[in-house]
C-alpha cells in the first residue's frame, strides 16, 4: 500500500489531501454512494485496503476506526432518478463531488479512484485502482461500501422478496428472478437493461 506522499511528493507535507471513491455503479437498484476522507497523519489506521478485498467484519471495524480518527469524512450520493437522467458515469461523478463538498475540513487536493475526476473547487488527480494503491482512497472506499451495504439491509425490510440485503442490488440470478416475479420498485434504475426490459415488456 502506498501513501499519498509517494505519489505526489510536491503535494505532501502539511497539504490536506482527500481520498474519494464510490460504490454502486453496477447494481440495478439504489443510490450510487461516494465517500471523501481526509486522514490524520497523527492517528494512523492499520489495515486499510480496497473495501472489496476485505471481509465484512474487517470493513465494519475499519469504518469505526476511520470515523473516529479521520480529520474529516463525508458521504455523497446520486439517486436512481438522477442515474436514469444523466447516466451512471455522470451520477458517480456527481456523488463524488457532493462527498467532497460535504467535508467539514476542505482539502487542497483530492485523489479520485478511477480515470476521471469530478468538477471540484480544488485540484484533483485520478488514480486507476487507487482504492488498492493509496491509503486515503482505501479509507473512502470502506466508508462508501459500509454505508451502502447498511442501507440495503434496511431496504430489504422495506422491499421484502428481492433479497436486497444479500446481493445489495447487484444483478444476481436471484435478483433478476425476483424482478421478473415482483416487478421493479421505486429504487430500481429504470435505465438499466434488465429493469428497462421489464418496464417496457408487453
- Note the pLDDT tens digit of each residue in 92-150: 999 999 999 999 999 999 999 999 999 999 999 999 999 999 999 999 999 999 999 99
**Cα(199)–Cα(149) distance, rounded to whole angstroms?**
26
Find how far residue 103's CA is from the centre of its chain. Answer: 15
Rounded CA Rg of the chain: 17
**Cα(179)–Cα(132) distance, rounded to whole angstroms?**
33
Q: Where are the domains positioned within the chain?
A: 4-197
Instruction: Report pLDDT digits (tens) over 154-194.
Output: 999 999 999 999 999 999 999 999 999 999 999 999 999 99
Rounded to 5 degrees, what angle do the CA atoms 120, 126, 131 make?
115
Instruction: Report pLDDT digits (tens) over 19-68.
Output: 999 999 999 999 999 999 999 999 999 999 999 999 999 999 999 999 99
Quick one: pLDDT at residue 198? 86
CATH 3.30.420.10 for domain 4-197, yes or no, is yes
Q: Which of 137, 81, 143, 144 is nearest to 111 (CA)?
A: 137
pTM exceeds cut of 0.85: yes
Amino acid at each position: 500500500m502506498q501513501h499519498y506522499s509517494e505519489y505526489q511528493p510536491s503535494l505532501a507535507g502539511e497539504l490536506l489531501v482527500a481520498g474519494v471513491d464510490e460504490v454502486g455503479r453496477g447494481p440495478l437498484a439504489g443510490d450510487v454512494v461516494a465517500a471523501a476522507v481526509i486522514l490524520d497523519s497523527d492517528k494512523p489506521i492499520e489495515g486499510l485496503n480496497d473495501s472489496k478485498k476485505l471481509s465484512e467484519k474487517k470493513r465494519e471495524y475499519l469504518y469505526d476506526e476511520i470515523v473516529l480518527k479521520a480529520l474529516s469524512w463525508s458521504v455523497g450520493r446520486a439517486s436512481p432518478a438522477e442515474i436514469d437522467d444523466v447516466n451512471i458515469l455522470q451520477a458517480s461523478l456527481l456523488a463524488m463531488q457532493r462527498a467532497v463538498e460535504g467535508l467539514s475540513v476542505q482539502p487542497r487536493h483530492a485523489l479520485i479512484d478511477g480515470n476521471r475526476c469530478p468538477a471540484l473547487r480544488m485540484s484533483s488527480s485520478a488514480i486507476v485502482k487507487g482504492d488498492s494503491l493509496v491509503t486515503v482512497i482505501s479509507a473512502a472506499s470502506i466508508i462508501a461500501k459500509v454505508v451502502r451495504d447498511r442501507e440495503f439491509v434496511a431496504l430489504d425490510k422495506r422491499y421484502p422478496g428481492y433479497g436486497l440485503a444479500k446481493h445489495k442490488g447487484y444483478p444476481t440470478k436471484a435478483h433478476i428472478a425476483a424482478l421478473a416475479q415482483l416487478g421493479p420498485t421505486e429504487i430500481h434504475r429504470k435505465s438499466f437493461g434488465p429493469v428497462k426490459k421489464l418496464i417496457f415488456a408487453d
